[in-house]
Structure 1
Amino acid sequence: MLSSFARFARVVAIAVAAVFATVELVEARAGRGGSFGSRGVRTFSAPPPTNTAPRPTQPIERSMTQPGQTTPGVAAQRPGAAAQAAPQRRFGTGFFAGLLGAGLLGALFGAGFFGGLGGLGSILGMLLQIALIGGLVWLALSFFRRRQQPAFAGAGAGPANGAARSSLPGLSGLGGGQAGGMTGASMAAGGGDGSLALGAEDFDAFEQALHDVQKAFSDEDLAALRRLTTPEMVSFLAEDLADNARAGIVNRLADTKLLQGDLAEAWREGSDDYATVAMRFSLIDYKADRTTGAVVEGSTSEPVEATELWTFRRSRGGPWLLSAIQQA
């Protein structure tokens, strides 16, 4: 009886550890590490669903924009603001990680969560282990469900934002999209001071940015990233590149192809224009040893697909700059 209880508890402990290990996987690709950046007053609002990204979008996790802040980039001017505003990048750190590390490893090696409670042969202690492990599984599942819920849809995201959307004109590889379908379309700027009309040249710029940002990230070209993204995004992407360098790897990206795209919303805030587009694309994405060049993860020949929402910002008369990436 005791041995069967012990085997069951260890199996459950391994399953729980596998769940949390999945969350800790190191991600690749520019933006694949999570949802980060700023969308002006809509930073903490969920973009409307589109045909390309019909499911709820992952909320912004790392941002220099504070809740309720109306001027993007103000937090970036204050020393330490990024560290204060950015939540933890991974789940399971700190106290909870210590609890998992001590408890699960104890269960796996026979000591249990409460190794000194009535001795190793205590049936009561074993039952308490099982109950506690079950509670951890429930907490993990609850956490994942909450992450799949859309973010608070306040901050001026009105119904009109998602009403006028279509396949991006000017983008190649879109099934059935009519070029110019959104050209000159005026969309209400619920969080700004006017309406915003986007033309084919804007959507061409978004598609080009998809290629250019991935290439700059693959080349670890910070100068190019500064030309293509906002200072906030440069800081986050540079952090990801530094993590790769510390791990002794380099993330190679190639052959980026846009497969489908939709405009989610476009609006104006003061002197800045914003546009959020959903893009499904494929690319070659792998990690290689920085010294030997040997592939340690991914494939050099098999492309992978991803769907992300990219938000672009431009000052009047300036180019579009990538200001946020969200996982769909």
Structure 2
Amino acid sequence: MLTSTKRRKRTATFLALAAALTVAAPIAEARPGGGGSVGSRGSRTFNAPSATQTAPGTAAPMQRTQAQPGMTNPGMQPQQGRRFGGGFMAGLLGAGLIGALLGAGFSGGLGGIASFLGLMLQIGLVVLLVSFAVRWFRRRNEQQQPAGAGAPYARQALNEGPNQNPMGAGGPSSGPMGGMLGGQPRPVQQRPVQIGPNDFQSFERLLGEIQDAYSHEDKVGLRNLATPEMAGYFEEELQANAARGVVNRVSEVKLLQGDLSEAWGEGSDEYATVAMRYALKDVTLDRRSNQVVETGAPQAIELWTFVRRPGRPWILSAIQQTA
């Protein structure tokens, strides 16, 4: 049996440990993206971004994305359907033979045989006419085929390619983006994109605005600042926080260093991946007591990919951690 003095000492020790654990909250990555690599980078989703002075190491591969490896422009290849005249002529032949056999047929003597021979002659003439028409249309299509058709690169339309409709509704390759409609996969035609001072200012502004919208659980704001895919991931994280009874507060975000990793265009979309090292205050609070539950690191180095369309501002498309 423990004496009352020993019981009081053990109780005091337990309370002291509990208080210490409450004050020294565990460090966790609770900022937007959950400290993981999520989103899509068009046809470069599964390629590591180029190293920079800010992020000299290799970027971690995507853990969550709506893109799929090897996805390219949907091939608008003609479907290999049944050849013209195949089933149609077989039907005529079958119907003619059945009619000849069940009608006047062979039992009708010479009249039936003559009818059958006449039918075969008609079928032969029709087959010749159809074969001639098929060859004529084939030669005509070959003559009208534009120069360069069948080249290894396909022009990418606005909503085609591995990031199919990056501004559109989210969903497994709703996105980020498409699927094969036929034909063989083709490399996506890419082009260089020039990034200027105004673009870097937009990236820095988006860094702060997205963190602020996430901290205030502003789902409408997040949808305006990110692709539907990224906004969907953010909303899932916010819902998970609500289920745990906590809220993530990110404040005092300040960009310390940043540089461009790569920039390119696909179809009408333009992409830019930027390495950023920034300071922040990242805490997770209990919704009822407002007590600190988790504390995030005071600095982060991440690669953010932004996308835009002509006449529209940059929005967030992906976040990647450094490996």
| TM-score category (smaller protein) | 0.5 to 0.7
Map of 1:19 onto structure 2: none
1:298 aligns with 2:292: no
Q: Output the CA distance in 2 between the equivalents of 1:210 and 1:78.
A: 23
- Unmatched runs of 5 consecutive residues or more in structure 1: 1-24, 86-154, 157-189
Distance 1:79 1:304, change over 3 A: closer
1: distance between equivalents of 2:256 and 2:45? 26
CA drift at 1:292: 1.7
1:250 aligns with 2:247: yes
- Partner residue in 2 for 1:323: 317
Q: Is the 8 A contact 2:28 2:294 kept in 1?
A: no
Corresponding residue number in structure 2 for 1:51? 53
Displacement of 1:74 in angstroms is: 5.6
- The reply on whether 1:266 has 2:260 as its aligned counterpart is no
Q: Is the 8 A contact 1:42 1:191 kept in 2?
A: no
Equivalent residue, structure 2, for 1:27 = 29
Q: 1:319: Cα distance to partner?
A: 0.5
1:77: how far off? 7.6
Partner SS for 1:264? strand
1:81 Cα deviation after fit:
2.6
Residues 212-261 of structure 1 deviation map (CA, whole Å, 9 limit, x = unaligned)? 00000000000110110000000011111111111100000100000000
Partner of 1:208 in structure 2?
205
CA displacement at 1:82 relative to structure 2:
7.0
Give RMSD over aligned pairs: 2.9
What are the ranges of 5 or more consecutive residues in structure 2 without an aligned counterpart? Answer: 1-26, 73-160, 177-184
Paired residue for 1:36? 38
Task: Report if the CA contact (8 A) 2:276-2:304 is conserved.
Answer: yes
Q: Tell me if the contact between 1:73 and 1:232 (Cα under 8 Å) persists in the aligned partners.
A: no
| Offset, 1:206 | 0.2
Moved over 6 A (4+): 75-80
Deviations 1:121-171 (A, max 9, x none): xxxxxxxxxxxxxxxxxxxxxxxxxxxxxxxxxx99xxxxxxxxxxxxxxx
Give the 3-state SS of the residue equivalent to 1:236 in structure 2. helix
Q: Match of 1:309?
A: 303
Q: What is the CA distance between 1:73 and its match in structure 2?
A: 3.8
Give the 3 Å change call, closer, same or farther, for CA 289–52 of structure 1 in structure 2: same
Contact kept in structure 2, 1:278 and 1:307, CA below 8 Å: yes
Paired residue type of 2:302:
E
* Structure index of larger Rg: 2
Residue 75 of structure 1 and its aligned partner are, at CA, apart by: 9.4
**2:14 corresponds to:** none
Structure 2: distance between partners of 1:55 and 1:27: 19
Deviation of the 1:68 alpha carbon:
1.6
Deviations 1:24-67 (A, max 9, x none): x9630012331010000000000011000001110011001111
- Opposite residue 318 of structure 2, the aligned amino acid is A
What is the TM-score when the length of structure 1 is the normalising length? 0.56
The secondary structure found in structure 1 opposite 2:211 is helix
**Letter of the structure 2 residue corresponding to residue 322 of structure 1:** L
Question: What's the secondary structure of 2:194's corresponding residue?
Answer: strand
Closer, same or farther: CA 316–192 of 1 in aligned 2, 3 Å:
farther
Whole-Å separation in 2 of the counterparts to 1:273 and 1:57? 21
Query: Given the alignment, which residue of 172, 181, 187 partners 1:81?
Result: 172
- The answer on whether the counterparts of 1:268 and 1:274 sit within 8 Å (CA) in structure 2 is yes
User: Number of matched residues?
Assistant: 199
Distance verdict in 2 for CA 1:234–1:36, change over 3 Å = same
Following superposition, the deviation at residue 80 of structure 1 comes to 6.3
When residues 80 and 223 of structure 1 are mapped into structure 2, their CA distance, relative to the original with a 3 A threshold, is: closer
- TM-score, normalised with respect to structure 2: 0.57
Contact 1:261 1:280 in 2 (8 A): yes
Q: Which whole-Å CA distance do the structure 2 matches of 1:253 and 1:79 have between them? A: 26
